[in-house]
Structure 1
């Protein structure tokens, strides 16, 4: 735009940064940031707010924090963007300290601020702290909790293993829980293999949306984890009858000016041979360091003969492992490997990343559906 002699406003840059953040392209974000500085807009409040959000969503929370700290004029969006960034990166201390500083400066939080605070409490298991902030919303700021805030509290209780408390909390809500709340609860039932509550949650979801694939998938996984293979297969069959399809796992990474996508077991990349050689090498090395594949997470009934080996092979083909292997052979050793995924990272991949960052000496930043996961030196 600027090359054609057209005026570029702060609003234009804020919009561009928002678009860059949506695809996780930190290189393009850095290029736009340099243009912002050249044009003397680095102190513009809306632009700075957009920069904080962009760097946070692209996995560079330290840069987001630097932009925030250099701001002289902050509004509620500035504070909330920084708090949300810390929350997405699992940095509860940063969330709570920034929130305290915000209130000390006399800035009134809004609904979005509290979503970030409750989310941060959830990810690190601060149950008492979460309850305190939830109750203070209306008491101190006259903000009525919305569905998102109730969903955060359900997630907080579920992550702490308090499924019965979470179930009672859902039933005490002042309005009917939506699909998101019940999906959160159902996911916890899968983690804790609670078939009774899982069945109840799935029924609630299907009452609200009979074509919600997550209800069938999660309940099928709960049955499989409990060894109820017939019930698990029945749920999968019901999905087929309704022509429902599970969303496939996809991970992507930016190298140079190109975004590379990978799917489960993907061999379509031009460098697939090199990628899988690197992945096999990594698996050998991390096994020597103590990594043990969690084959319990492979919820398929396989033949006894070679069953464990086949389960390990399926785990190694997860899209995030492939993307990380590609990142290690395609990026400079001084830069973190930043991978994005459309679904939640599985427990085995999370554990494997701890070992991979140790044997490779590289920092790995993995963003999944919920948050960022940082891996450095194990």
Structure 2
């Protein structure tokens, strides 16, 4: 039976799979001369290109005897779609050898190839040819030129094309936004987007969101994030791309609650998350210690068979680690078919943050045994793990391994870890000498680590030196003023504490309020010190009074050094009693069954008084308490903390 022309066209238009396509091709060769028909040959070329069989596409092109501009356009498009940009440009040059003139379909594809390969020279030549042939007013050509100039960092030329276009569509505006955003000129990217909304009948879409996202994810301006949110809510909520971009914007701007809320809304709007969505929201779950939601997302990933996926698996490890669930992080890690440096580094970091320095070291050694070569990033968590666990000698050995065997030049992160390691171990003089011998200028993290150690070990002299450097480097950072104030407070130098407050007030520096988050029934609850805004505040404070009474029976005395107020001892104790982590712990106690694990995340370092209180509460209510602060995890059980009171 002969294959008919109509049947052939119908099948090829449906984009058959490669096996079916090869069968059709064989029938065409055996049954007749249909291959000599140009429209059949072109459809066959397109079908092979879509199946990524670019060599066969080129063979069909070469074998066809009478090639016109359409054949060249299809071949160039095939190369571009399969990311063979140089071959596409070579094919473009061959057109002139055959005396075939490019048309308005050729030029946009050539410009895509120039954009993909960042070939400005051919792009400029094409622009000249466009002018000569009068194609510069073509919408698709104009859009291609803007994109090409943006990719090649020639923004003035791109903007000139944009401004001179007789008409623009959404692609034109998005291309101009992307050109600015890709080159780090975020203010102009946002300005073009705002102009589009004000002066054009066109509305932003998913493409606009995607084009603008580099500008907003790199920005720390609340106004920019708000603008992106308004655009998403009003114009671009119908596409999964828009949801993914908006979620990434929230995560990159330290708004994990908003990212999680957005994820939970997706089902209402009939939007199904994909792997990009999941990779975006998992870090937010980790930041909030939203373990229950993280587990549900993990179940969704398994149900949708999104694994194996290295990026997702690494994100799951990181999420479980940040939620203090080491066993679940390890299960994901152990099931991975392929692991990269990020996978191993995440596990080292997970053990280090919980104070299990020995296991962190063992995992790092296993990474080396696996054949992977540690990079500069992977040494940071193992040095930090040594610091948190007080493993001074091992930390020094790893620093020597990094610098002498692997020849890695220490970055500021490594140097900060070493200062922290020495400082926590009480080697304040050695830590200060280490800073003075550094070949690079120390940053605020390095001086901050030294100042923190001085506070713990009551070293006033070096503490003042560290504070002086910090107040010059980052005069707006409230945390360092508080550390210095703490040193003075421990020494009873309340006049100096008052002076620090006066300096902060004069400079407009405000102390970052302590916030503790806890997840309950898929909702994250946040508490501030002395917070009375929660609907259950009355019950929380009543239960807190009862628990504080039981703590006193066990010998609790408020650690008033943690209070930076020059007030009576009794008032200091009252102030400490309402710290945010205590309120969050009590909230969980009154809303969950006995023996339920309590999981809290705090945005600041836990104070000495709350640390003592958490140990006692774990005895009183017979519950495990996992508290993650900015430095590490504290796992309280039966009156003992995993940090060994070393933090």
Counterpart for residue 316 of structure 1: 577
Aligned 1:207-222 pairs, distance under 5 A: 207-222=472-487
Cα offset, 1:246, TM superposition: 0.9
Counterpart for residue 312 of structure 2: 47
Counterpart for residue 441 of structure 2: 176
Which of 141-150 and 125-134 deviates more? 141-150
Counterpart for residue 339 of structure 1: 600
Counterpart for residue 466 of structure 2: 201
1:93 corresponds to which of 358, 371, 388: 358
The structure with higher relative contact order (CA 8 Å, sep 6+) is 1
Which of 267-276 and 221-230 deviates more? 221-230
C-alpha contact (below 8 Å) 1:331/1:337 kept by paired residues:
no
Counterpart for residue 364 of structure 1: 625
Which of 13-22 and 350-359 deviates more? 13-22
SS in 1 for 2:298: helix
Aligned 1:267-282 pairs, distance under 5 A: 267-282=532-547
Counterpart for residue 355 of structure 1: 616
Counterpart for residue 416 of structure 2: 151
Cα offset, 1:251, TM superposition: 0.8
Counterpart for residue 250 of structure 2: none
C-alpha contact (below 8 Å) 1:183/1:214 kept by paired residues:
no
| Pair 1:71–1:309, CA change in 2 (3 A) | same
C-alpha contact (below 8 Å) 1:275/1:325 kept by paired residues:
yes
Deviations 1:131-153 (CA, angstroms, capped at 9, x unpaired): 00011113222322100010011
SS in 1 for 2:526: strand
Return the alpha-carbon distance in structure 2 between the equivalents of residues 368 and 329 of structure 1.
Answer: 23
Counterpart for residue 4 of structure 2: none
Aligned 1:72-111 pairs, distance under 5 A: 72-111=337-376
Counterpart for residue 636 of structure 2: 375
Counterpart for residue 428 of structure 2: 163
Counterpart for residue 20 of structure 1: 285
C-alpha contact (below 8 Å) 2:486/2:564 kept by paired residues:
yes
Cα offset, 1:13, TM superposition: 2.4
Number of matched pairs: 374
Counterpart for residue 31 of structure 1: 296
Structure 1 residue 260 corresponds to structure 2 residue 499? no
Cα offset, 1:220, TM superposition: 2.4
Which of 190-199 and 98-107 deviates more? 190-199
C-alpha contact (below 8 Å) 1:341/1:368 kept by paired residues:
yes
Cα offset, 1:270, TM superposition: 0.9
C-alpha contact (below 8 Å) 1:11/1:46 kept by paired residues:
no
Structure 1 residue 61 corresponds to structure 2 residue 326? yes
C-alpha contact (below 8 Å) 1:111/1:143 kept by paired residues:
yes
Return the alpha-carbon distance in structure 1 between the equivalents of residues 485 and 331 of structure 2.
Answer: 45
Return the alpha-carbon distance in structure 2 between the equivalents of residues 256 and 62 of structure 1.
Answer: 22
Return the alpha-carbon distance in structure 2 between the equivalents of residues 275 and 260 of structure 1.
Answer: 13
Deviations 1:230-262 (CA, angstroms, capped at 9, x unpaired): 222112111111111111111111111211111
Deviations 1:311-363 (CA, angstroms, capped at 9, x unpaired): 22111111101110001111233541111111000011111111111111111
Deviations 1:207-240 (CA, angstroms, capped at 9, x unpaired): 2233333343322222222122222211211111
Cα offset, 1:308, TM superposition: 2.6
Deviations 1:86-143 (CA, angstroms, capped at 9, x unpaired): 1122211220111111111111122222111011111111111000001111322232
Cα offset, 1:7, TM superposition: 7.2
Which of 136-145 and 290-299 deviates more? 290-299
Structure 1 residue 296 corresponds to structure 2 residue 561? yes
C-alpha contact (below 8 Å) 2:530/2:578 kept by paired residues:
yes
| Pair 1:29–1:146, CA change in 2 (3 A) | same
Which of 36-45 and 142-151 deviates more? 36-45
Aligned-pair RMSD on alpha carbons? Answer: 1.9
Counterpart for residue 499 of structure 2: 234
Deviations 1:30-51 (CA, angstroms, capped at 9, x unpaired): 1110011112234332221111
Cα offset, 1:172, TM superposition: 0.7
| Pair 1:47–1:211, CA change in 2 (3 A) | closer
Aligned 1:97-136 pairs, distance under 5 A: 97-136=362-401
Counterpart for residue 138 of structure 1: 403
Give the TM-score, by structure 2 length.
Answer: 0.56
| Pair 1:227–1:286, CA change in 2 (3 A) | closer
Cα offset, 1:295, TM superposition: 2.0
Return the alpha-carbon distance in structure 1 between the equivalents of residues 375 and 601 of structure 2.
Answer: 29
Deviations 1:68-91 (CA, angstroms, capped at 9, x unpaired): 112222111111111111112221
Counterpart for residue 250 of structure 1: 515
Which of 6-15 and 313-322 deviates more? 6-15
Which of 356-365 and 289-298 deviates more? 289-298
